[in-house]
């Protein structure tokens, strides 16, 4: 467990990536009690200086001794690097919050969204997993509904921004859009098809069951985070030509009847949620409003008239912020609170 201190030495692994940059911004924005920060990335980034708290910090390359003296390490460097370096960090006495898929379904590693299951932090063994971005915003909205009416089944369709793939995908969307508007032929390198002015029902690799890895992440991670394997989840994940902010359409079947107004009331008092729901005034969550925000926005709340106990809703959150960096920093803050 983390030792109680006034300030903590923090590392960001994968600091030059989109999520790593966002982690640094969130640490600074929330005035995290750090006693200095160490930045790590691949060999090609060694020596690059990144701004932090009005200073510049040089990026380092990882080695076996890198984590000595570091209290908390926020990882966003991909599953392979996490597989190798997270145990090294944990052996050095550092607590790792890992944003990759490497540890999420490991039964020895808690998978945590602080608004949902902070109690699971009590049994960590040096590594804590940050869930998938699309799962995080969904379970933030599901938890208060589950507590109020017990969820039986969830059908989710996502509309995910290209930033979920990384900077190269954002660059590809921008270039394709520019090329199309200038009557030039587009090229595809990040995605198998044109993403500009298009929609791709394909995120991550397809599996033998016909689902993608992204879809099965949402299924399996939801059950682990909610601590209830009886919840049935089915997902369709879709990439859309939006730079930042994931949207999700949720259909939720509950054991107890919950009216739309009751659902609004439950959600409006839940941590991390803003109910943004006045469709008669064209008020509903949009990615452009969620970008840069901490909260998960919920709207289009209505009863499903095709089943006895059903609720439909539309949720939007910033995938780089709440879907990755902020959730990791909130885990670190909760660890400090519990120390």
Distances (CA, A) of 76 to 24, 63, 177: 11, 17, 28
**Domains detected in the chain:** 8-131+324-338 (3.40.50.720), 135-319 (3.30.360.10)
How would residue 263 be classed by pLDDT, with cut points 50, 70 and 90?
A: very high
Contacts (Cβ under 8 Å, ≥6 apart) of 280: none
Per DSSP, 37 falls in state E
Question: Catalytic residues, which ones?
Answer: 133, 246
Run of H or E residues at 35: strand 34-40
Rounded to an integer, the average pLDDT of 133-156 is: 98
pLDDT, tens digit (0-9, with 9 covering 90-100), for 317-327: 999 999 999 99
Q: Residue 117, CB half-sphere, CA atoms under 13 Å: how many?
A: 24
> Residues of the chain with pLDDT > 90: what percent?
97
Phi, psi of 164 (to 5 degrees): -65, -20
The predicted-structure confidence for 178-212, as pLDDT tens digits, reads as follows 999 999 999 999 999 999 999 999 999 999 999 99
Q: What is the pLDDT of residues 98-112, one digit of tens each?
A: 999 999 999 999 999
| Segment 38-46 mean pLDDT | 94
| C-alpha span between 259 and 338 (Å, rounded) | 37
Q: Is the pLDDT of residue 3 over 90?
A: no
pLDDT tens, 291-335? 999 999 999 999 999 999 999 999 999 999 999 999 999 999 999
Contact yes or no for 181/155 (Cβ under 8 A)? no
In this predicted structure, the answer to whether residue 219 has a pLDDT above a threshold of 90 is yes
CA distance 37 to 30: 15
Give the Cα separation of 338 and 201 in Å (integer): 41
Q: Which whole-number Å values give the CA distances from 223 to 36, 104, 155, 241, in the listed order?
A: 37, 12, 14, 29
Q: Please give the pLDDT value at position 179.
A: 98
What does the pLDDT average to over 30-50?
Answer: 95
> What phi, psi does 51 have (nearest 5°)?
-75, 140
> pLDDT-derived band of residue 1, with 50, 70 and 90 as boundaries?
confident
């Amino acid at each position: 467990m983390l030792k109680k201190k006034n300030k903590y030495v923090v590392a960001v692994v994968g600091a030059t990536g989109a999520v790593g940059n966002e982690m640094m911004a969130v640490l600074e924005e929330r005035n995290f009690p750090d006693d200095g920060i160490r930045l790590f990335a691949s060999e090609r980034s060694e020596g690059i200086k990144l701004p932090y708290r009005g200073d510049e910090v040089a990026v380092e390359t990882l080695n076996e001794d890198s984590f000595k003296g570091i209290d908390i390490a926020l990882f966003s460097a991909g599953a392979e690097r996490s597989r190798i370096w997270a145990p090294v960090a944990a052996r050095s006495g550092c607590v790792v919050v890992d944003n990759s898929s490497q540890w999420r379904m490991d039964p020895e590693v808690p998978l945590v969204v602080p608004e949902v299951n902070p109690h699971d932090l009590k049994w960590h063994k040096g590594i804590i997993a940050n869930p998938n971005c699309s799962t995080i915003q969904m379970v933030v909205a599901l938890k208060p509904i589950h507590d109020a009416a017990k969820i039986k089944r969830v059908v989710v369709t996502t509309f995910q921004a290209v930033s979920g793939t990384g900077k190269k995908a954002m660059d590809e969307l921008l270039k394709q859009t520019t090329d199309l508007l200038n009557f030039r032929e587009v090229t595809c390198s990040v995605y198998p098809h044109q993403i500009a002015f298009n929609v791709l029902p394909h995120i991550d690799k397809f599996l033998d069951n016909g689902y993608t890895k992204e879809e099965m992440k949402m299924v399996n991670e939801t059950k682990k985070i909610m601590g209830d394997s009886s919840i049935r989840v089915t997902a369709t994940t879709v990439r859309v030509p939006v730079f930042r902010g994931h949207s999700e359409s949720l259909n939720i079947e509950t054991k107890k009847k919950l009216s739309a107004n009751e659902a609004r009331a439950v959600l409006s008092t839940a941590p991390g949620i803003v109910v943004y729901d006045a469709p008669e005034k064209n008020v509903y969550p949009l990615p452009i409003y969620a970008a840069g925000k901490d909260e998960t926005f919920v709207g289009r709340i209505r009863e499903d008239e095709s089943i006895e106990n059903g609720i439909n809703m539309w949720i939007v959150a910033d995938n780089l912020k709440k879907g990755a960096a902020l959730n990791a920093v909130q885990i670190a803050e909760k660890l400090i609170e519990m120390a």
